[in-house]
Structure 1
Amino acid sequence: DGVSDLMDRDADEEMLVELNQRRQDMLIELKSYERNAAKVTANGIGRGGAQTEVSGAIPRDTHVTSSLEMNPEIQSGELVLSTNNDTVIKAAIMFAEAVFEEESRFIFFPSPTSTARVPIKPPRDVASDVMIKVLVSSRTSAVYHVFELDFKMPRFCMYIPVAENVPEPMSSVTFRIPERASRVAAWIDQAFMTNCSEGLSIHSDELVVSFVSLRDARPLLIKMTGDGSGTHSAGAGGRMTIRTENLEVAGDFVQELCTGLGITELESTADFPYDMETFRNVLVRVDEHNAVRLKLTADVADSSNAVKAFVIKAEDARILADMNLMRRMYGELFDLNRELIMEHTKRATNHSELLLALKEVNQMIQKAARLRMGRAKTRIIAACRKAIKQNNIQDLFKILNFGSST
């Protein structure tokens, strides 16, 4: 019991010390607030007053806004941070996954103003929530006020709309969508930060929008036409064509479109000649690596049999006290062992290259599957794997392009 009481007293003392320390910290913070409040009162600071430079305090109604603007000149976006008065932004800390290399970025502004621009260029098309901590103060103050903001980056913010004619990509994916053009345009406005829905009639069944990527200057064309039914019912839709030379971008667009509009089933027809030609070369590489693998396996089997024969002959020579023959057999065995090591290196290299090629095959199947939704997406993966297993290349390309081999 005495030991237990002693431990309880130690715990109480530690808690008391911690509470006293917190009390001191809060008193210091309170005095700082009181000094700032006194300066505000003495200098008569009001809404947006210019006296913030004198006192070092900031008005109570200070707030920070954020927006995203795309800048084609620097091929990047700019996160614009602004205050509503004469306070200045001295630094900012941003946290976001898949946007920054190390998931965070600190920016210090040597010449602070009330508006700050931060270049931001996501490496991939992914929607992300950016948490921002903005350090705001008066121009002469050494005390920073931290404002926390949350900014949601659209998935396709790195694409800017273009009004002039752009080269039409040869590759495309086409599908029928059970939605009005006006609703599709509203989704495009949200995903691409555009205003293409303005001026579009709610009963319109046609939509044409062109974009250019700030990453690689590749065009992205979106076209929707009516299905020819002439109806404007809730279930009316149209045929949509996405033209881009990037198969991955097309898949991202289809998946995001289906998620945004609540589409659970979608069939499509793909036409990506460059990607298909690249995929054909990958399949050729797979066949070559497989042929090399079989040949090397056969060579290793022959060498293994030779090793057994040399070992037996060397042991027989040792038993018969034929030292010359024994040395010759072990010499042959040593040379053969060195050849086996070299063959193993070849097999390991060929195996690594084969795995990389098979990985590209799997990635191609996944990219093609992302051009569909629901059961069609699952079906195309199973059908492609079956065609590869049967070595039916012709059916494989039909499945990738049309969703089935028939």
Structure 2
Amino acid sequence: MWIYFGKNSGAELFWTVTGDVISAITCLSYENNEGYVNDIVVGSEDCTVRIFRNESIVQELSETDVVTRLVSLGEEYFGYGLRNGTIGVYNKVNRIWRIKSKNKPICFIGHDINQDGCEELICGWDNGKIDARLRSNGVVILKIQLDACVAGMAVGDYYGFCNILLICTVEGDIQCFSLHKSKNNVTLESSEDALRHLITKRQNLLLEIQSINENKCLSELSKTEIQRSNVSVIKANTELQTKLEVSPNKPCVNLTIQTNNNTPLRCVVLFAEGIFNEESYVVHPPENNSYTSSFLVELKPTRDMTTDLFIRAYAMPLIRSSDRNSYYLLSCTQLLPQFCLYRLLSQNSKLDYQTDLNSLQSTVFFVVHERPQRLAIWLNQNFILETNITVDENSTLSVVFEELRPARMYIPTINQTLNNSDIKQQNSSERLLHIIMTSKGEITIKTDNLELAANLLQSISRYFNITELSSICNFPKLFNTLEELIEMSNSYSSTQQQALVEMTSKSETIKELIVKAEDYRLNGNWKSLKKTIQLLSAANHDILSNYYSRMTDYEASNNCLKCINQIIEHVSSLRVGKYKTNVINMCRNALKENNIGALKKIIRTGSN
């Protein structure tokens, strides 16, 4: 939730907040600059990797699952691991490679095994496997298999031997492996991998040669001769066509996949990050059905992020050979816009939905040195629209969208049964998004979804190449929620302090009763011993109840702090550059002083 660095004396060096609970952290030189050797890479449970320089976020990278492991690999490279078993390497914001496994990565370490000047990514897995992969392409150059799950790894000098990989398992075993080898030394596994790669390449080349020869022969045959030759053929101009449209009835995006000349399809396979379970989806009709040339797939992305859809389809030949399992593979790629789950309702808010829009009190206002026509281009690229939005010269752009994904806001509710305050996420009744831009470059975003407003502003600033941007916002419901969260957090803190004092007192009482019980036992005073043991049991029950109550309050307090930090993160994202950093620092100071009035002003105006 927040990042804190301090000296060994306790003096604070660095403090900032992130959007969710921090699950991994490492340091690297992001721009390979000696002046910035301690840029911080942070992974959090909101599936995001953030790169910090001082208090400013340099880059944000969205992943498909919780980031659980991060390690620096030298220069501008770092390795990452996800909870779903994915590992990979980034160079700045460019992902070099990634692989996914059914096992989970447990620990990372970077070390130059082959002495090429680049650190390899060494990963320990939950099935006891350890592998080392090249930073450049992910090729495995070292494999080790243990009998138990890996708990931790380290590389160093051990008993006079250099480059020793020490591996500890969950069963307590520690094993050492030498990583020393010369540049010219190629292991048996590396040779086998190279041979396997060459065999695969040879097979692919032979298939290409066979295909070229068949096409050459087919070009010289007539249709009747082709049927007699017993080969499978489709039309030469056959290709896949895709179309995206927002569903008029369901909260989803409809993806239509079809061939351009009605060639029937046997099945379709889609690959996409963060949309499907296991990142893939297969449409496979039963056998002996009348096959169609078109498929409709419903897409329901859980977050606002740009995604590439990789589509593979098996086309059925119009002229079939005796081999009924022979199909032609067609492929294409479809880009899913960032804000695809928003349905356009109107381009003239003054005539349509004016009554509903008047109830939208939450707004963000900022000014850019651009024309409404440029914002219209951004809308066309980031939303799914039936027709492109156009704006006349010297006119105002005004569009209204409906959010298909339920908007979520943090609203505190009291659970009287448990006698405890719980933070829950409830669906907001307001699902409208209103974007306005005047000819003067004044942009107003109206929505009750704070996270959506922040994502929109950040996307617009990136599109316009804006590095510094301030804004004025007003979220009345958010202010009330934030005030309640702070009051609840303070209440939990005081309750925990009181419970700690009571537990300390009970602990002293238990110590005294234990001493008395031992004295009564030695003196044979069984009646007093029985009474003392009963008192000891009651005191022990009280201290256990106190402990469980403290644990419940601690979890609720953490939930409050998490919600507060997420609100501050989203509010700061309503600004860009130094204005974003200033909001985080000023909000922190206001929270330290418990000055809710100043906190509201900072959120609203970006200054105190």
**Above 0.5 in TM-score?**
yes
Q: Find the counterpart in structure 1 of residue 371 from structure 2.
A: 180
The one-character-per-residue Cα deviations of 1:102-138 (angstroms, maximum 9, x if unpaired) are 3211112454333322221212211111111122123
Which of 355, 377, 399 is the aligned partner of 1:209?
Answer: 399
CA drift at 1:97: 1.3
Q: CA separation in 1, counterparts of 2:396 and 2:576?
A: 23
Q: CA separation in 2, counterparts of 1:123 and 1:18?
A: 38
Answer yes or no: is 1:149 the counterpart of 2:328: no
Q: Find the counterpart in structure 2 of residue 313 from structure 1.
A: 516
Q: Find the counterpart in structure 2 of residue 160 from structure 1.
A: 343
Q: CA separation in 1, counterparts of 2:224 and 2:382?
A: 42
CA drift at 1:247: 0.9
* Farther off after superposition, 239-248 or 85-94: 85-94
8 Å CA contact 2:376–2:391 kept in 1: the answer is no
CA drift at 1:248: 1.0
CA drift at 1:17: 11
- Pick closer, same or farther for the CA change 1:15–1:350 going to 2, 3 Å: closer
Q: CA separation in 1, counterparts of 2:561 and 2:241?
A: 48
Residue identity matched to 2:478: D
Residue identity matched to 1:114: S
Which of 64, 67, 80 is the aligned partner of 2:240?
Answer: 64
Higher normalized helix content (fraction of residues): 1
Q: CA separation in 2, counterparts of 1:282 and 1:13?
A: 60
Higher normalized strand content (fraction of residues): 2
Answer yes or no: is 1:200 the counterpart of 2:392: yes
8 Å CA contact 1:40–1:57 kept in 2: the answer is no
By relative contact order (CA 8 Å, sep 6+), the higher-ranking structure is 1
The one-character-per-residue Cα deviations of 1:141-188 (angstroms, maximum 9, x if unpaired) are 532222222221110122222236122122111111121211121111
Q: Find the counterpart in structure 2 of residue 280 from structure 1.
A: 483
The one-character-per-residue Cα deviations of 1:251-303 (angstroms, maximum 9, x if unpaired) are 11001111111111111111111222222222232122222212211210110
- Pick closer, same or farther for the CA change 1:333–1:372 going to 2, 3 Å: same
- Pick closer, same or farther for the CA change 1:66–1:299 going to 2, 3 Å: same
Q: CA separation in 2, counterparts of 1:70 and 1:22?
A: 42
- Pick closer, same or farther for the CA change 1:43–1:289 going to 2, 3 Å: farther
8 Å CA contact 2:308–2:335 kept in 1: the answer is yes
* Farther off after superposition, 24-33 or 204-213: 24-33
Q: What are the residue-to-residue correspondences of 1:285-364 with 2, within 5 Å?
A: 285-364=488-567
Q: CA separation in 1, counterparts of 2:503 and 2:597?
A: 34
Residue identity matched to 2:514: V
Which of 464, 469, 474 is the aligned partner of 1:261?
Answer: 464
Q: CA separation in 2, counterparts of 1:289 and 1:74?
A: 42
CA drift at 1:374: 0.8
- Pick closer, same or farther for the CA change 1:361–1:322 going to 2, 3 Å: same
Which of 420, 441, 450 is the aligned partner of 1:247?
Answer: 450
Q: CA separation in 2, counterparts of 1:185 and 1:20?
A: 52
Q: CA separation in 1, counterparts of 2:530 and 2:193?
A: 80
Q: CA separation in 1, counterparts of 2:438 and 2:515?
A: 80
CA drift at 1:196: 5.0
Q: Find the counterpart in structure 2 of residue 104 from structure 1.
A: 280
**Identity of matched residues, %:** 30
- Which structure has the larger Rg? 1
The SS at the match of 1:112 is coil
8 Å CA contact 1:211–1:221 kept in 2: the answer is yes
Q: CA separation in 2, counterparts of 1:264 and 1:22?
A: 47
Q: Find the counterpart in structure 2 of residue 372 from structure 1.
A: 575
Residue identity matched to 1:138: P
The SS at the match of 2:339 is coil
Alignment RMSD, CA only?
3.3
What is the TM-score of this pair, normalised by structure 1? 0.82
Q: What are the residue-to-residue correspondences of 1:79-98 with 2, within 5 Å?
A: 79-98=255-274
Q: CA separation in 2, counterparts of 1:174 and 1:95?
A: 38
CA drift at 1:306: 0.9
* Farther off after superposition, 56-65 or 336-345: 56-65
Gaps of 5+ in 1: 1-10, 228-237
CA drift at 1:389: 1.5
- Pick closer, same or farther for the CA change 1:285–1:20 going to 2, 3 Å: closer
